[in-house]
A and B are shown apart, each in its own frame.
Chain A
Amino acid sequence: MTEPAPAAPTASEDRTVLEASRRRLVIDGFGIGVSAAAFGFVFGLSAQRAGFLPIEAVAFSTIVFAGAAQFAAVGYVAGGVAWPVIFVLTALLNARHLLYSAALAPWLRDVPVPRRAVIAHLLTDESFALTIAHFSRAGRSDERGYWLAAIGWTFIPWNAATIVGVLAGQEIPGPERFGLDVVFPAAMIGLAAGLIAHRRDVVAAATGAAVAVAISLAVSPSVGIVAGGLLGPFAGLAMPVRAGRAESDTPP
């Protein structure tokens, strides 16, 4: 005797799941918003101390809108690195966005191209982490969720705090004293934990971290981060999937 197949979720059940996931997005996003604001503030401070004009710091945060690359650029500018070299280093450091974009593309395939072009500009570590977790929880795409994550919880806090940081730069000595420098790594590891649902995720994360640190020490942090992101998933894929614990690899 066979069990009857479970009924497909109804539209109202779908809606309930989506709304619950959005509530979680708002709660998690608040932490990210605080993180983005703290990090943006520290970027503003750093840029001001490296001799950036306020308008230049703001241009970086709106036009580039890539935290790690922006911080690196402050160091490059202060160190007198040639601009073509900065171009190459920026592309390398931000190569991980290619992976984020590829991971989100199937979920956002129905979004019109002009909006996808804007979505691309707003794609960051934070917006990716919030969005992919939200889509996975909801079991569907949710463009509004993306805008909330990317603009509400990342772009606005980051840019507003950049302005405050670059203007208030000389007033606040040593922001590290307040522990603000750990906000970014703590946020990254917290978000990684939110994406972990299976053994494969744990292995991918642990391997990614180990590879990244090893290659960072041997070559450079920007290469190490990309290498960890590229090689970690292979280790995860090498793990056998337990029977009865199928993993959803593709969006609906």
Chain B
Amino acid sequence: MNGLLIILALIMFAATYPTRALPLLAPGFERLPAPVFAYLRLVGPAILAALAAVNVMVVTSSGRPTFHIGIEWLAVLACLGLTVWRRNLLVGLIAAVGLTAVARAVGIA
């Protein structure tokens, strides 16, 4: 592809950077009213949970999203449980990866 995709990377940067920079660089954003901050404080849990859920529950095949049930659910739930219990994300991640790898190795996933 002769490096042509570097131009695509720049195009994607142009689509991404404004969304990251606008509130940080635009003056006045820090004077938003309290309800807006209350809303923004909840964005983190909502969007991270959304990313996780879509990643394990939705699979796109032939351009069409479909509902997916699999070992990934158990892995993510195991990670959630261990992270909350042990207050350590790494332990949760190791358990999730290990559970998935073992399940696939023995052919149950």
Interaction A to B: yes
CB-CB under 8 A from B65, the residues of chain A are 216-217, 220-221
Query: What is the chain A residue whose CB lies nearest that of B78?
Result: A186
> In whole Å, how far is B13's beta carbon from the nearest beta carbon of chain A?
5
Known: A69-B12, A211-B50. A52 touches B41 (CB 8 A): no
Decide if the interface of chain B is mainly helix, strand, loop or mixed: helix
Q: Report yes or no: B23 in contact with A98, Cβ–Cβ below 8 A.
A: yes
Q: How many A-B residue pairs have CB under 8 A?
A: 323
> In whole Å, how far is B64's beta carbon from the nearest beta carbon of chain A?
9
Q: Report yes or no: B79 in contact with A189, Cβ–Cβ below 8 A.
A: yes
Q: Report yes or no: B76 in contact with A73, Cβ–Cβ below 8 A.
A: no
Q: Does B108 contact A (CB under 8 A)?
A: no
Q: Does A55 contact B (CB under 8 A)?
A: yes
Q: Select which of B9, B19, B23, B56 is within 8 A of A60 by beta carbon.
A: B9
Q: Report yes or no: B9 in contact with A64, Cβ–Cβ below 8 A.
A: yes
Q: Does A236 contact B (CB under 8 A)?
A: yes
Query: What is the chain A residue whose CB lies nearest that of B38?
Result: A249
Most chain A Cβ neighbours within 10 Å, of B14, B38, B53 = B53
Q: Report yes or no: B24 in contact with A195, Cβ–Cβ below 8 A.
A: no
> In whole Å, how far is B86's beta carbon from the nearest beta carbon of chain A?
10
> Could you mark each residue 133-165 of chain A with 1 if its beta carbon is under 8 Å from any beta carbon of chain B, else 0?
000000000000000000000000000000000
A-B contact sample (4 more), CB < 8 A, given A97-B20, A185-B72, A188-B55: A103-B43, A178-B97, A196-B45, A224-B50
